[in-house]
Structure 1
């Protein structure tokens, strides 16, 4: 029984896998493991270096011995010839042949090494540079030069291998060579302190090396097009104020305050920081001056509800509040504003869709009597007809109202706007489909005092609105009617002909055109703004018009453009013109536009030649735009 157990244990031990015995690990072992370096690899590399050094030393000894043999052969050549010993001559020939074969094998081995390839490439580069200066070809390195280079490397004295002692090339200190020892500038070895110092100097030299300037290509064009689209492009050198603002934006973390800068400059700084997403809780303090009565933040997405409360706490004389992307402006902030002794004259809120309907009504009832301007954007379903109905009683001094992208305002809410008897500026862009009658009611009630009328995306509104504007509006300076699919060219012509309103300064009629995907260019009933309406516009308002947008009014004919911008016509105030996607526009028409509009600064169109000092928007790349001459 005992023998059976012994045999079983032996079988079990024989079937067990080999289990290595692990001991404590040293700090060096841990460091090498973290650097993905293995000890057996270091040992193999060291053995390879020792073998290479031994082979090179043996080759040198053999060369010396062969040289002595050659000398002895020369001295004894006469004796050999005299003796006529055939066997001795044959043995010497075999020795020379063996020597030649060994040398060729060593040269072939050296030619396969990385050091030889590197040296050969360096020599080829020098040869090519020399040939290029002389104007000749740059052939490959000849075979004889390759052999000479290999023999030179073979004759070089090998450096010390790891484990040997050597003197430092710089400080002449005796040290032990390791696989990590650096080579000196003259081929010697360096000790650890000198090697570290040399590596640091080389890294500093690389950092201080002047970077290559990028070619003036896509990056410059992209920046220029970005400034054009932002409306900040300036022909020629940038103004000093813009350069200072850009420098401040790049080093905004170093700024302690804005000092006594004028409000216009502070506003430009806020726009610049918002564009680069630099406006946050840490930079908000720059714009909270207790002496100011206005705060304008164009990207408040990074601000929290407490940051908005901080604004009301520090700017105690606040009258005008402008916040874009105010996504954390909630009921609690509005409640705090209600409880404070702050009576705002102007509120501009964009994206504050977390303020509830009840909170809006409560604020308007509590603070609405001081409110003169209310501009609210993207409030989802919280600003509705009930909120609009509160304006009549709660905001008797309201002169400016703008409702943009609010989903719940309908035709009933538009009719309620007609009760705001002091309203002078009205802008509406609603999500729900609306009809013509509510707009006509507003124009009939408020038309005589309206200075701004902006109605966007009114696809179902027809010519009755244009007739109401013609009959009731006599003080308009800015008119915008866009995306209409039912207004006709006759309606536009009828509105502007004999209109008692003074010449407009701003006119936007973009996308008032016939929409039929099946027959886009056929317009039998002349829907939208066409040639007659365009002629009537320029006849009525051309002398005072500064901004004109007829984007996508594609049924205006080339004859109408040529007549409006004829040689005898001049539009001295027109500075911005948008005529993109007007299919009849040609290079001749664009040239006529620049001739008739001496103050024109920006023209939005494609593939035309632009006089020097003017801005052209809509060019996809630099090839599509050419700057002419040196004279305007």
Structure 2
């Protein structure tokens, strides 16, 4: 670049940081802008938003000076806070300015104590009497200038209440009895009890229920329930029992006739072999995951079982069922619930037992209509979660002398097919048809026509299509004690009142999802109504 161009005033010389900062705010210098090394004023014109125009010399684009660098006025790069300083000129810099409100970080403020200007930072501290302080004044007043500002705790919003509220109408029958209070105290301090003494088998069972509910049944507390004269033992939560606990159980209860163990996941094959030395007739095991073939065979060979009830046993297979049939041919009660290897091949063997009750629910391999066969002596039948069974199995069921029938989670059953079934089956006392999605008026009316005088428990949970007229027929079932009407959309306050008036033995009604019920739903002393929903805006 030639020196002649520099002499024309087209190139602006270096400026101080303060001058650059004020120019950014749009503050005009009190003296005319001069060129670098030349005290004469610029003779050229300033473009509105362009370089300095010198009529006598060619402008250097690299050294152009724009009007926004010189003239005061609104700046396109200045924000709202900086626009307030547009009316300032250079003469105002010498006059002290008081600012009570804290400026933005990087801007200048006047110290309220010494009247000197300082740059605002994130640590700038307020003066107790008003204004803000510079760093030296903070030290003079004993204030830490670099202490972190205290963050105000924002109050947490209260959780939004759910619009839906669920009320349970439950009768409280006065104060609990003295015996129940004592049993609750025993359950609470069971780890401090050395012996229970002769409190009776009924109360002993209550204590076991209470401590099992709190997962307090341990190898130490379990010994309180062992006795040489016990013929029946029920342990409701064996989660914390170990291998030695089961050995002690067999040694200290040599006369057990009935054994029921819930959540016995730590029961091993060796422990079951040891238990099989007892004179067992009834055994119920929930979750014996670890028991293998040797344990089951020892049980079948040593015990003349009348009742074999197991749930969730992945190692029980067809060969073990054949062994059970060979060793216990007079078995009366069989439950194979959630057995992973149960399939159609099990059914012919099951049909050879003289069973009174049968429960084959939730198998991993779905059963088919073609292989479906049952013992002709079954009086209580439970079939849960069989999605491939259809109306074709109903004629086989209709031939059984049933008093209890549970056909839940079987979506292929039709309303007409079930209605035909109940025209044959009569005098049923316990019926569970939960989540029969296609079941409706015909099936319900047919059931009531055949078993109204004997029906005591009924579940039609999930019958969304059943009408109010069909539900009104339930008032004819005068012996009902428990009724589940969940998700039957036509249940109303009036139907509920009619049921309470017509069924004197009714003690529990479930009405989840019955959205026509209101807070004004009737109630009766001694009857629990569970699931009434009310909606508030």
* TM-score, normalised by the number of residues in structure 1: 0.55
8 Å CA contact 2:500–2:524 kept in 1: the answer is no
**Aligned residue number for residue 616 of structure 1:** 529
Q: Deviations over 1:418-474 (max 9, x none)?
A: 011x211101112221112333x11xxx23x2221111111111112222222x112
Structure 1 residue 363 corresponds to structure 2 residue 291: no
Q: How many residue pairs get matched?
A: 365
The equivalences for 1:113-132 within 5 A come to none
**Aligned residue number for residue 67 of structure 2:** none
8 Å CA contact 1:610–1:616 kept in 2: the answer is no
8 Å CA contact 2:493–2:522 kept in 1: the answer is no
**Aligned residue number for residue 388 of structure 2:** 460
**Aligned residue number for residue 456 of structure 2:** 546
Q: Deviations over 1:84-113 (max 9, x none)?
A: xxxxxxxxxxxxxxxxxxxxxxxxxxxxxx
Structure 1 residue 404 corresponds to structure 2 residue 337: yes
**Aligned residue number for residue 269 of structure 2:** 331
Question: For residues 453 and 596 of structure 1, do their structure 2 counterparts lie closer, same or farther at Cα, with a shift above 3 Å needed?
Answer: same
**Aligned residue number for residue 271 of structure 1:** 209
8 Å CA contact 2:523–2:529 kept in 1: the answer is no
The equivalences for 1:422-501 within 5 A come to 422-429=354-361, 430-439=363-372, 441-442=373-374, 446-447=375-376, 449-470=377-398, 472-474=399-401, 476-497=402-423, 499=424, 501=425
SS at match of 1:454: strand
- In 2, the alpha carbon distance for the partners of 1:435 and 1:241 equals 52
**Aligned residue number for residue 484 of structure 2:** 578
The equivalences for 1:512-551 within 5 A come to 512-513=436-437, 528-551=438-461
| Shift in Å, 1:359 | 2.9
Q: 1:379 aligns with which of 313, 324, 327?
A: 313
SS at match of 1:486: coil
The equivalences for 1:171-250 within 5 A come to 235-250=173-188
| Shift in Å, 1:337 | 3.0
**Aligned residue number for residue 506 of structure 2:** 600
8 Å CA contact 1:548–1:576 kept in 2: the answer is yes
| Shift in Å, 1:605 | 0.4
Q: Deviations over 1:226-268 (max 9, x none)?
A: x98xxxx854433443322212111223323232233222212
8 Å CA contact 1:577–1:602 kept in 2: the answer is yes
SS at match of 2:345: helix
SS at match of 1:296: strand
Q: 2:323 aligns with which of 379, 384, 390?
A: 390
**Aligned residue number for residue 129 of structure 2:** none
SS at match of 2:360: strand
Q: 2:288 aligns with which of 347, 352, 356?
A: 352
Greater helix share, structure number: 1
| Shift in Å, 1:536 | 0.8
* TM-score, normalised by the number of residues in structure 2: 0.64
| Shift in Å, 1:323 | 0.6
Q: Deviations over 1:305-337 (max 9, x none)?
A: 011000000111111111111111101112323
**Aligned residue number for residue 509 of structure 1:** 433
Structure 1 residue 290 corresponds to structure 2 residue 216: no
- Kindly indicate whether structure 1 or structure 2 has the higher relative contact order, using CA contacts under 8 Å at least 6 residues apart: 2
Moved more, 342-351 or 353-362: 353-362
Q: Deviations over 1:186-209 (max 9, x none)?
A: xxxxxxxxxxxxxxxxxxxxxxxx
**Aligned residue number for residue 152 of structure 2:** none
Deviating 4+ runs (over 4 angstroms): none
Question: Runs of 5+ in structure 2 lacking a partner?
Answer: 1-164
- In 2, the alpha carbon distance for the partners of 1:437 and 1:238 equals 55
- In 2, the alpha carbon distance for the partners of 1:300 and 1:291 equals 21
- In 1, the alpha carbon distance for the partners of 2:194 and 2:451 equals 49
SS at match of 1:618: strand
- In 2, the alpha carbon distance for the partners of 1:237 and 1:466 equals 49
Question: For residues 411 and 241 of structure 1, do their structure 2 counterparts lie closer, same or farther at Cα, with a shift above 3 Å needed?
Answer: farther
- In 2, the alpha carbon distance for the partners of 1:234 and 1:544 equals 28
| Shift in Å, 1:493 | 1.0
8 Å CA contact 1:467–1:491 kept in 2: the answer is no
- In 2, the alpha carbon distance for the partners of 1:234 and 1:491 equals 43
* Alpha-carbon RMSD: 2.4
Question: Runs of 5+ in structure 1 lacking a partner?
Answer: 1-220, 514-527, 626-632
8 Å CA contact 1:280–1:302 kept in 2: the answer is yes
